[in-house]
Structure 1
Amino acid sequence: MEFAELLSALALKVRNQKDAIQTEEATKNAFIMPFISTILGYDVFNPLEVVPEFTADVGVKRGEKVDYAILRDGEVQILIECKKSTEALKIEHASQLFRYFAVTNARIAVLTNGEVYQFYTDLDAPNRMDEKPFLVLDLMDIDESLIPELRKLTKDVFDLDSIISAAEELKYIGQIKRTIAAQFRAPEDDWVRFFTTRAYDGAFTQKIREQFTSLVSKASKQFLNDQVNDRLKTALGSSNFAPTVSESEQETTVINSREIAAADLDRDTEIETTLEELEGYQIVKAIACSEVKPHRVTHRDAKSYFAVLLDDNNRKPIARLHFNGKKQKYVGIFDSAKNETRHPIDSLDEIYAHAAAIRASIQGHAE
């Protein structure tokens, strides 16, 4: 299997089993040891490569242990501290890593709960672990741009110099991306003020702040929808379906979908169209493009579900995205008799597993 496929397989294992994991030891056995062996490629049963419960007495702190130390040529290269999968990671959990980092040759420290892996080095001061990670791997939302960097830490192609040299850029780009994502979800006052002062000439009063908080949030969602539409347009340009769609038709498709998205966002103030719903819609639309021209696939949001329709017609439902629940998400797909079958999903990528049913639904309405 390719490296990315191995990551995806482990991510699926974590997704399927995490609810059954309640202790730190179970987290190590089920998730972290497979990460060390399958992803990084080290033999967890060879003490010349992986040392569990690694001890290196530090000052007055005697007998403290780091969960794992990865060795190369007899020297410690990577330290790993583990927490149980049900526990969110905090920098306070890394106290042993801070101490051990200064007294070993390790240049990489990892704090993990089996689902999220935070990678640290010593960019701010030599031999002193940074307080912020330079790379964050979330197995529930893998950033594909980080995969090449992660691979540099594997046994077969271990390239410490290369990853250290790239660490500063990775650190700040990662922090900026996470900040932008947080602002898209819930814009803070500074973010709202930044855009308000560039779009509105008056004073930034409390009333204006409240008004523009909603506008900035809505504009952010529409901007992201535009970007997804542009990527879809590019993909259509290289697909087998593309020759049946002229360049002007493709442009019209993108414009129409933007107008529809904007109209739906404004249709009912009590309905909140989320980024996740828009992303799910684009996945359904991409699948549908093998059967019909993309401008025929539209959406309407409702309080309890997000509908994907053919020809903007309620009598031609393709799918419904049930993403408003606090726990389980569902994608509902309609058959030719307009009966909806709901399928539970844990991530948007799982919509692709139902591509055949989505195409069959379209075929039942497209005539």
Structure 2
Amino acid sequence: MSFKEQVTELSKRAVSAQTIALTEEATKNALVMPFLRTLGFDVFDPSQIVPEFTADVGLKKGEKVDYAVRINDRIEYILEAKAVSANLSQAQYSQLYRYFSTTDCSIAILTNGIQIWFFTDLDAPNKLDTNPFFKFDLFDYDDNDLKELEKFHRDRFSITDIKSSANTLKRMKAAISSIEAQFNDPDDEFVRMISKGLYDGKLTSAVVSEFKPIIKRAFEDLVRQKIQKKLTAAFNDNVNIPTIKDVDSVTQLTEGGDGIETTQEEVDGFNIVRAIAAEVADISRVVMRDQKSYCGINFDDNNRKPIVRLHFNSKTKFLTIFDSDKAGARFDIVQVTDIFKAKTQIQSVIQSYIGNGG
């Protein structure tokens, strides 16, 4: 199998393992060891994988890290595993920091079997960074993520390439964060920079205040145009892509209609879900039913076959994404286009309905 196919199989395994492999040891067996196999390692060869690796730190003797990973007789990774239910952002992983400084390894990995976080020492030599430079999620990845993950494969490993990529990723995150801040609330300096080419007079505080909502709206329209381009590519030319102006073209958009207002964001969200669904099903089977507290998207216009609910009525936007057992999980987003990040989960529940005779 190709690397992409192996990761796909691992992702499928993780769907069932997340409800069964509840302990740390079970997570190691069900997900962590298969993950290391996917990266090209023989998990039963002690010259490649050393379980319970002892890393003495100062006065602390006999402390162990879950796995040390060797490439060409050198320890390149140390890996600490948590139970599949663990929230990595809240997990205690101070051991990784201590171990990293006592070995010659280049990479430290923290994982719960589904999310895999990669750390290195970009900020200070031989001192593990506080934040991971790369995060991979088996339930939420794209081709770019796969390309980054493949760099850690045993046959392709190059610490020079990885650190170069890590620096690039770090700068990209900072750039995205800065752009996102301007998107949500452009500051006066940014508004002045854009407005210079739009206004001939003096850019007083009053003028800047006047331009600020205009520039924010321009950002939003630009994003909406890009969404439309993606949707046009996903749908064939004969399928109508509804907007707020022709919202009646969507079947069963509301129930009752009393006090229900379907927003453009909800329509955009619905279209994105249909675009994602187009790869695995006839999009006419994906139907929106707007409610007062959320906007529901179901399969076959059936409330017993929920795909996703859009919660866009407050400042904090999020989705409820359902699995084959109708269990819903919260998926936070910042903007509507973030729905594309949930592609794997959305397609998975649709395929489960089709596979059950739907």
Q: Give TM class, smaller chain.
A: 0.5 to 0.7
Q: Does 1:29 align with 2:29?
A: yes
The answer for the alignment partner of 1:85 in structure 2 is 84
Pair 1:353-2:338 in alignment: no
Identity %: 29
The equivalences for 1:198-213 within 5 A come to: none
In the TM superposition, what whole-angstrom CA distance separates every residue of 1:201-226 from its partner, at most 9, and x where no partner exists? 6998xxxxxxx9xxx89x96x86664
- Partner of residue 308, structure 2: 323
Of residues 303, 306, 313, the one that matches 2:296 is: 306
RMSD over equivalenced CA pairs, Å: 4.6
Moved more, 273-282 or 85-94: 273-282
Output the CA distance in 1 between the equivalents of 2:274 and 2:150: 32
Relative to structure 1, the CA distance from residue 33 to residue 157 in structure 2 (aligned partners, 3 Å threshold; closer, same or farther) is same
Q: CA deviation at 1:321?
A: 4.6
| Structure whose residues are more often helix by fraction | 1
Partner AA of 1:257 in structure 2:
T
Question: Is the counterpart of residue 5 in structure 1 residue 5 in structure 2?
Answer: yes
- Count, aligned residues: 306
Question: In the alignment, what sits opposite 1:128?
Answer: 127
Confirm or deny that 1:283 pairs with 2:253: no
In structure 2, runs of 5+ residues without a counterpart are 196-204, 311-318, 330-344
Partner of 1:59, secondary structure, is: coil
Task: Tell me by how many angstroms 1:130 deviates.
Answer: 0.8
Alpha-carbon distance between aligned partners in 2 of 1:95 and 1:19, rounded to the nearest angstrom: 27
Tell me the SS of whatever aligns to 2:50.
Answer: strand
75-84 or 163-172: bigger deviation? 163-172
Deviation at 1:57, TM superposition (A): 0.9
- TM-score norm. by structure 2 comes to 0.68
**Alignment partners' CA distance in 1, 2:164 and 2:156:** 16
Judged with a 3 Å threshold, the aligned counterparts in structure 2 of structure 1 residues 78 and 136 are, in CA distance, closer, same or farther, namely: same
Determine helix, strand or coil for the equivalent of 1:36.
helix
Structure 1, unaligned runs of 5 or more: 205-211, 292-296, 310-315, 332-341, 362-367
Please give the per-residue CA displacement for 1:213-256, whole angstroms capped at 9, x wherever unaligned: xxx89x96x866643331232355xxxx65xx6xxxx9xx56x5
CA contact (8 A) 1:257 1:298 kept: no
| Alignment partner, residue 193 of structure 1 | 185
Deviation, 1:257, is 3.4
- CA spacing shift, 1:232–1:43, aligned 2, 3 Å: same
Contact 2:22–2:84 (8 Å) recurs in 1: yes
Q: TM-score, with normalisation over the residues of structure 1?
A: 0.66
Q: 1:285 to 1:35 in 2, by over 3 A?
A: closer
The residue type equivalent to 1:105 in the other structure is: D
SS of the residue 2:126 aligns to: coil
- Decide whether aligned partners of structure 1 residues 175 and 350 sit closer, same or farther in structure 2, where only a CA change above 3 A counts: farther
Alignment match, 1:103? 102
Q: What CA distance in whole angstroms lies between the structure 2 residues aligned with 1:257 and 1:118?
A: 39
CA distance in 1, matches of 2:6, 2:298: 33
Q: Would the alpha carbon gap of residues 327 and 153 (structure 1) be closer, same or farther in structure 2, given more than 3 Å must change?
A: same
AA matched with 2:290: D
Query: How do 1:196-275 and structure 2 match up within 5 A?
Result: 226-235=225-234, 256-257=242-243, 259-260=245-246, 268-269=260-261, 273=266
Q: Conserved in 1, the CA contact under 8 Å of 2:68 and 2:77?
A: yes
Report the counterpart of residue 144 of structure 1 in structure 2: 143
Query: 2:298 touches 2:307 (CA, 8 Å); kept in 1?
Result: no
Check 1:99–1:227 CA distance in 2 against 1; reply closer, same or farther (3 A cut): same
After superposition, the Cα gap between the structure-2 partners of 1:261 and 1:115, relative to the gap in structure 1 and judged at 3 Å, is farther
DSSP 3-state at the match of 1:280: helix
